[in-house]
Amino acid sequence: MLNLLHDSFWMILFFAIAIFIGYFVHFILFRILKRITDYTTINLDKYLVKHLKDPVRLFFIIIAIRTAISLLQTPISPEIYAFLQSFLYFITLFAIGWSIVKLISVFEDFLIQKYRMDEKDNLFARKIHTQFMVFKHLGIIIVAIVIISVALLRFESVRTLGTGLLTSVGIMGIVVGLAAQKTGAALIAGIQIAFSQPIRIDDVVIVENEWGRVEEINFTYVVVKIWDSRRLIVPTSYFLEHPFENWTKTSSDMLGTVFLYVDYRLPVDELRHELLNILDQSPWWDKRVSALQVTDSKETTMELRALMSVADSSSAWELRCEVREKLITFIQKNYPECLPRLRITAESISKYAEE
């Protein structure tokens, strides 16, 4: 009994030392690689070191354990040896899958650096990011399915069931297809969005009367960040089955409008000149379009529409608010009598008095 405990203690200590050595070698190696990548001009090596650091550490530990098993002098019982082999088999598969997923992240960082989203004209970048986000999730799902399938083949009972599963796969496919009809439709909708792209990452949309930006596109749902930082979760099929507004479908530039209702005595040319002065001093105007027009005439007021061009939707909101505020201030200071008012004449008063 004492000999058994003695052997077990030294075996555990031997494996612990082997794991520590693998961890230490990995630490030194990646410390050196980090120093090397700090002096390189390309970013790909930096992304590889950043993302593959953790899965490679697991590979080093696996190699250290396997080396320790081969160097171990104390004989291992068949049960423990079989357990260790199965454990290392599953951990190796996990490390392989983890590495593949991290390589996808390396490619994602490369795309983010190459196709920047913070530029004004980012239409092509948003197209690339949208397609990659959808196929990234698809790739992770495929990797997970393959790794789990290979792991299950480790069991003899699963391999012997193969023939039986092939005969019943048709019936099971029909049953699963009926049970997961909506889920399957959502997955197909996600792939359709990746190719047809009615929406893209960072698109400005109006969905369910809410203004927001597309923040995430997944297989089954889309996350829209609303202007007040709330998130609207919308099924992907919604964008294929319902009409919605996409303000940045072809380009990010757009026209902003401001409506004013003023008295008929207001000199429109003076207000038009003031609008141009406001736009010239505004950092939000892109200097393409500016106009002030009388678009309607009502019983008591006339409707003026100020039209201005901007580079993106965020600038449109800022410029519209600025122009609206400054035009109202201009009218208040220079033409206060031209603000909307209700006229009551002496004739109308005497008419109502007689009635």
pLDDT tens-digit readout, 222-273: 999 988 889 999 988 888 888 988 888 777 678 889 999 999 889 999 999 9
In a domain, 322, yes or no: yes
Mean pLDDT of 314-334: 91
The region that residue 229 occupies, defined by phi over 0 for left and psi between -120 and 50 for alpha, beta otherwise, is left
pLDDT tens-digit readout, 259-305: 999 998 899 999 999 999 999 999 989 888 899 999 998 888 899 99
In a domain, 69, yes or no: yes
Q: CA nearest 8: which of 57, 80, 61?
A: 80
Residue 28 corresponds to which amino acid?
I
In a domain, 288, yes or no: yes
pLDDT tens-digit readout, 77-114: 777 777 888 888 889 999 999 999 999 988 888 888 88
Last residue of a domain, one of 68, 99, 114: 114
Question: CA 79, CA 73: separation in Å to the nearest integer?
Answer: 17
Range in 28-42, 162-176, 322-336 the model is least confident about: 162-176
Helices within the chain (DSSP H only) = 2-38, 44-71, 78-114, 123-152, 156-160, 162-179, 181-196, 238-241, 268-281, 313-334, 346-354
> Secondary structure of the chain: what % helix, strand, coil (to 5)?
65, 15, 20
In a domain, 108, yes or no: yes
pTM value? 0.59
CATH number at residue 285: 3.30.70.100
The whole domain housing 110 covers 2-114
pLDDT tens-digit readout, 132-155: 887 888 888 888 888 888 887 777
Q: Is 261 helix (H, G, I), strand (E, B) or coil?
A: strand
| Total count of domains within the chain | 2
Mean pLDDT of 5-16: 67
In a domain, 316, yes or no: yes
In a domain, 30, yes or no: yes
Last residue of a domain, one of 98, 114, 130: 114
pLDDT tens-digit readout, 24-52: 888 899 888 888 888 888 888 888 888 88
Q: Is 286 helix (H, G, I), strand (E, B) or coil?
A: strand
Question: CA 99, CA 145: separation in Å to the nearest integer?
Answer: 15
Last residue of a domain, one of 67, 87, 114: 114
